[in-house]
Amino acid sequence: MLRTRKLLRESGVLGLNERNAEFIMRMNPRRLYPRVDDKELTKKLAIEAGMPVPELYGVISNQGGVRRFSDIVADRDSFVVKPARGSGGDGIVVIVGRSKRKKDSYRLASGLLVSGAEIEHHLSNIVGGQYSLSGNPDSALIEYCVHFDPLFADVSYQGVPDIRVIVYRGYPVMSMVRLPTRTSEGKANLHQGAVGAGIDLSTGRTLKGVLGNDVVDEHPDTGALIPGLYIPRWDFILQSSARSSEVTGLGYVGVDMVIDKDLGPLILEMNARPGLNIQIANACGLSHRLKRIDEIFDAAADPSTRAKVARQEFAAERQGTLALDESD
Amino acid sequence: MTTRYVLVLAGILTLVGLAMFIYKWQVLGLPLDPAQETPTWTVETTISFDSGPGSINVNLQIPTLTPGFATLDEYSVSRNYAFGLNYVGADREAQWTVRRADGAQTLYYRIIVYEDPASDQSDMTPPLPIPPVITEPFKTAVDMVVADVDEHSADEGSFTSVLLRLFNNPSPNPNVELLLAEAESRADFVQTITTVLASAGIPARIVRGISLQERQRQVEPVPWLEIHDGDRWRYFDPSTGDEGLPDRFLVWWRGSEPLVRVEGGSNLEVRFAVQRNYVDSLDIAEHRAELKQSRLLDFSLFSLPIETQSVYSVLLMIPIGALIMVLMRNVIGIDAFGTFMPVLIALAFRETELVWGVILFSVLVSLGLSIRFLLERLRLLLVPRLSAVLIVVVLLMLIISIVSHQLGMDTGLSVALFPMVIIAMTIERMSVVWEERGAGDAMRAGAGSMLVAIVAYLAMGMNWLEHIIITFPELLLIVLAAVLLLGRYTGYRLSELTRFKAVIGR
């Protein structure tokens, strides 16, 4: 046990306690939390900063507003319902289309049909605060449903794969793509069985995947190869992520993005307490990279410079924890 | 920087807690063991006499300075008599008076003492006035004895020892024989010794005390010798000349005064009886604190009304549960619902006993969960749904109690002690996790909560720990310090060793 502990230390694996005490509490002032905890506010700030986000169709902020649901989505076939202050992807419902026969029936990503009344009940739950971080009344966002890039079609099962970038003091330090599986029920959450694959920061190319604690090369449902995919517009993704520190004021933040086939990378949300599974997906600890940023931190650097520095510093090869064996 | 503040603060808290603990434990003698009892002795003096025609006045010498013992309580039982305590110099007298009485009279004086090695109060009274007037032929005899003993001794102490040995010699010299001619009792013997010592310029007096045994009906006061060496009073065994007091010897009175003086009565008889009892060590400690004028125990839990005390005996264990919670969460890394839910469940287990508690809790939560899933279909708004779950939980508790009572299992009745609001919230949280993350996660967190609750229950249920925390609440400062330190613990959680194994595994 002590040996494992020592090995983890050496690999620079960041633990929850250390993340909370040394990074979140130190770098993320509590008063700035609403900027990322409230997705409506995040969206507003991102738009002001010129960052691309999924279009917001409407906000339902009280019980009375639930009735407006059918008007909001009247001429939309696909959309996403999510709680403004949800956590960990809870309470998100993705509607990909409508039933041909019944206008009031919506098709979930899984193919199941749900009635408008069921969605309205879900909206009530969101507004009532069932999914909010604090249990307080919340509001529900109805927004554009991302049509994800065909690049990922082979490596995801229903749902939308998303890209998570950890940004420390404005510098991207680690990244991964989360691929939904049958077990995760279309959700891009590693905890629920989605596949996580690290991304080489310097090239934007995916590394080996991780399912639970196992290393996988192939997507468990589609069988497609996971490593070696090049994420499109990688530089843009890194620059947008880097800009998050100016937008949120947070020093340690996880930026979640999706790639729309028409609109390109869009910022879904930001997280003041990003999870640590990204270390497993990258087979690399965060600590060394965070320390490196502390060494080279330059307050004057602009987001594109910071993104460039990150690409130079954190190439997967240079970390010495090569997940992708070049010989095969 | 912050870490240093936390270290300093935790250090201060620990020091304060430990200092108070050690003071109360070592100085005031608060017991570490809940069952610890201290022996006490009740000495009863019975004074019987026949009343005369006029008013009656009875004076009894009672203990004042009692080396090795402290007084817990004293009182008199005497119908119709006015009772008072008189201070005569450094001594005390109990006094009973009555205008008239008929027939045989009995008065009681009781004193309850406990052993207290610290109670070595020495007599501050000045040495007795000397020298005594002695008539011939005794004067010559005394002078010769003094001269003889003086030759063989160095100071007051050795003089006394040598003198006593000389007087106890089975074949005494003529001078000693002359001096002891009229000594009929041990008391007379000691009295004679004091006279000889006085002639030698050594203040001395007779001391009488009672040897405390387990249980005695008729106890005779034992005479002992006390001399002043110019510095302090010292005790000598009159029959051997050795210095010191016998074990468990309660000094009753000093000097040649009679034990009891009765005016207006006759046929006086005085008896001593001794009885050993055991008293909770806590009472003794409280009494000792009072004697030491320590205010510490005035602010202790024991000064509160009994009902409040029993409330606090539960409340004071909550910090222990919280500490367990912190350990399980931040050091081991177990998933559980709610921050303090497991601690509250553990509190409920105290009443239901562990096995029944676990069974009842599981039954309650699983029934509640199934009903919660039914309610889900009704599409209720959040707050009404929560309230519905709460009401269902209350009804379920009632049904469980009634059914188990009918079946003759009264343990089921204690289900009423579960914190129902907490259970309702747990059910709600569990059902949300169940829907969002799947049954596996819900079960894992549920089992985690149960595990934490069981560990917290076991820790909070340790009798000696409970006793120690209640007796020494300042130890909670140390618990606080531990929690503060854990708050700055940035090492890996035990569960993370497995979780991140994949990172080093490749």
Based on DSSP, count helices (H) and strands (E) in chain A, helices before strands. 11, 13
* Nearest alpha-carbon partner for A266 in A151, A152, A146, A109: A146
Residue B172 is assigned to a structural domain of this protein: yes
pLDDT at B127: 62
- CA distances to A158, B54, B83, B104 from B80, in Å: 100, 15, 9, 13
- Give the model's confidence band at A324: pLDDT under 50 very low, under 70 low, under 90 confident, else very high: very low
Q: What is the mean pLDDT of chain A?
A: 85
Are the C-beta atoms of B132 and B169 separated by less than 8 Å?
A: no
pLDDT digits (tens, 9 = 90+) for A110-148: 788 898 888 998 999 899 888 876 667 889 999 998 888
Residues B323 and B429 in one domain: yes
User: B293 in a domain, yes or no?
Assistant: no
Q: What is the pLDDT of residue A323?
A: 42
pLDDT of residue A222 exceeding 80 = yes
User: What is the pLDDT at residue A286?
Assistant: 92
B58 within 8 A of B47, measured Cβ to Cβ = yes
Q: Is the pLDDT of residue A328 over 50?
A: no
Number of domains in chain B: 3
CATH of the domain at B175: 3.10.620.30
Domain contains B279: yes
**Chain B closest-CA separation from residue A248 CA (Å):** 25
- Substitution target in A5, A8, A9 with the highest count of B β-carbons within 10 Å is A8
In a domain? residue B123:
no
Q: Same domain, yes or no, for B327 and B445?
A: yes
Set of chain B residues whose Cβ sits within 8 Å of the Cβ of A16: 333, 493, 496
Question: For residue B12, what pLDDT is reported?
Answer: 94
Q: Are B328 and B449 within one domain? A: yes
Q: Residue B317: which of B361, B279, B347 has the closest Cα?
A: B347
Please list the alpha-helical segments (H only) found in B185-304. 186-199, 281-291
Q: How far apart (Å, rounded) are the C-alpha atoms in residues A142 and A113?
A: 18
Segment A11-37 mean pLDDT: 88
* A247 and chain B in contact, CB less than 8 A: no
For B497, the closest of A5, A117, A128 (CB atoms) is A5
- Rg over alpha carbons for chain B, rounded to the nearest Å, is 36
Q: Is residue B307 part of a domain?
A: no
Q: Report, in this order, helix, strand and coil percent for chain B, each rounded to 5.
A: 50, 20, 25
pLDDT at B478 over 70: yes
Kindly report, residue by residue over B270-315, the tens digit of the pLDDT. Answer: 888 888 887 777 777 777 777 776 666 666 777 777 777 777 888 8
CA dihedral A247, A250, A253, A259 (to 10 degrees): 0
Are B337 and B375 within one domain?
Answer: yes
Flag if B438 and A214 touch (Cβ within 8 Å).
no
Percent of chain A past pLDDT 70, that is, above it, reads: 95
Cβ-Cβ contacts under 8 Å, B441 against chain A: 191-192
Of B437, B503, B505, the CB nearest to A279: B503
Nearest chain B residue to A26, by CA? B2
Asked if pLDDT for residue A170 goes beyond 50, the answer is yes
pLDDT at A245 over 70: yes
Shortest CA distance to A176 belongs to which of A158, A159, A190? A190
Q: Residues B70, B147: one domain?
A: no
B475 vs B323: CA distance, rounded Å: 13
Q: Do B438 and A191 touch (CB under 8 A)?
A: no
Instruction: Categorise residue A178: left if φ over 0, alpha if ψ from -120 to 50, beta otherwise.
Output: beta
Cα dihedral value A80, A85, A90, A95, nearest 10: -10
| Three-state DSSP string of B92-111 | EEEEEEECCCCCEEEEEEEE
Mean pLDDT of A197-218: 87
Q: B488 and A63: CB-CB below 8 Å?
A: no
Q: For the residues of B39-104, what is the DSSP string, one character each?
A: EEEEEEEEEEEEE-SS-EEEEEEE----TTEEEEEEEEE-TT-EEEEEEETTEEEEEEEES---SE
- Res A327 pLDDT > 70: no
Q: Which of B94-98, B139-143, B453-457 has the lowest mean pLDDT?
A: B139-143
Residue A84: CB atoms within 10 A of its CB come to: 24
Q: Taking a C-beta distance cutoff of 8 angstroms, is the pair B62, B94 a contact?
A: yes
Strands (E) across A7-129 are located at 56-60, 79-83, 93-98, 105-108, 113-115
Which pLDDT score, from 0 to 100, does residue B74 have? Answer: 86
Q: Are residues B405 and B438 in the same domain?
A: yes
d(CA B468, CA B483): 19
Q: What are phi and psi of B86, to 5 degrees?
A: -110, 140
| pLDDT one-digit tens code per residue, A65-102 | 888 988 888 888 889 999 988 776 778 888 888 887 77
Query: Which residues 6+ apart lie within 8 Å of B219 measured at CB?
Result: B210, B211, B271, B272, B273, B274
Cα of B335 to nearest chain A Cα, Å: 13
In order of A251, A315, B104, the CA distances from A169 in angstroms are 4, 19, 100
| DSSP secondary structure code for residue B220 in this structure | P
Burial group, residue A295, by CB count within 10 angstroms (0-12, 13-18, 19+): exposed
**Taken in order B468, B473, B475, B480, is the CA torsion positive or negative?**
positive
Pair B154, B56 in one domain: no
In a domain, B350, yes or no: yes
Distance CA B433, CA B441 (A): 7
Joined together, the tokens standing for residue B450 give: 């149960």
Q: In this predicted model, what pLDDT tens digit does every residue of B405-421 receive, in sequence order?
A: 888 777 666 666 677 88
Q: Which domain CATH number covers B108?
A: 2.60.40
- pLDDT averaged over every residue in chain B: 83
- Whether residue B340 is found in the same domain as residue B455: yes
Q: Yes or no: say if A63 and A277 are a contact pair by the CB < 8 Å rule.
A: no
Nearest CA in chain B to A209: B502
Count Cβ atoms below 10 Å from residue B185 Cβ, excluding itself: 10
My answer on whether B142 and B114 are in the same domain is no
Cβ–Cβ contact A213 with B under 8 A: yes
Compare CB distances from A11 to B432, B436, B503 and report the shortest one's residue. B503
Whether the CB-CB separation of B260 and B33 falls below 8 Å is answered with: no
CB-based contact B60:B283 (threshold 8 Å): no
pLDDT digits (tens, 9 = 90+) for A272-311: 888 888 888 888 889 999 999 999 998 888 989 999 999 9
Beta-bridge mates of residue A108: A95
Tell me which residues of chain A, numbers 56 to 95, contact chain B at a CB-CB cutoff of 8 Å: 63, 90-91
Residues B142 and B100 in one domain: no
Q: Are residues B337 and B430 in the same domain?
A: yes
**A244-273: average pLDDT:** 90
d(CA A206, CA B226): 98
The answer to whether the CB of B366 falls within 8 A of the CB of B427 is no
CA-to-CA dists, residue B183 to A172, B146, B172, B193, B434, angstroms: 107, 19, 14, 10, 98
CB-CB under 8 Å, B506 with A16:
no
Domains of chain A: 2-50+148-313 (3.30.470.20), 56-143 (no CATH)
Among B444, B460, B476, which residue terminates a domain?
B460
Indicate whether B32 belongs to any domain.
Answer: no
For residue B86, the enclosing domain spans: 38-118+274-284
Which tens digit of pLDDT belongs to each residue from B420-433? 888 888 888 888 88
Residue B137, token pair as written in the block: 């032929």
Position B13 in a domain: no
Residue B459 has pLDDT above 70, yes or no: yes
For the cut 90, the answer to whether the pLDDT of residue A168 exceeds it is: yes
Q: What residue in A sits closest to B437 (Cα-Cα)? A: A192
The predicted model gives B479-505 an average pLDDT of 86
Greatest CA span in chain A, whole angstroms? 63
Please give the average per-residue pLDDT across B125-132, as a whole number: 62
Domain co-membership, B168 together with B221: yes
Q: How far is A19 from chain B (nearest CA, A)?
A: 8
Indicate if the pLDDT at residue B121 is higher than 50: yes
Final residue before a domain boundary, out of B423, B438, B460 = B460
3-state DSSP assignment of residue B446: helix
State residue A322's pLDDT score. Answer: 42
Geometric angle at alpha carbon A289, from A287 and A293, rounded to 5°: 115
In DSSP notation, A232-248 reads TTHHHHHHHHHHHHHHH
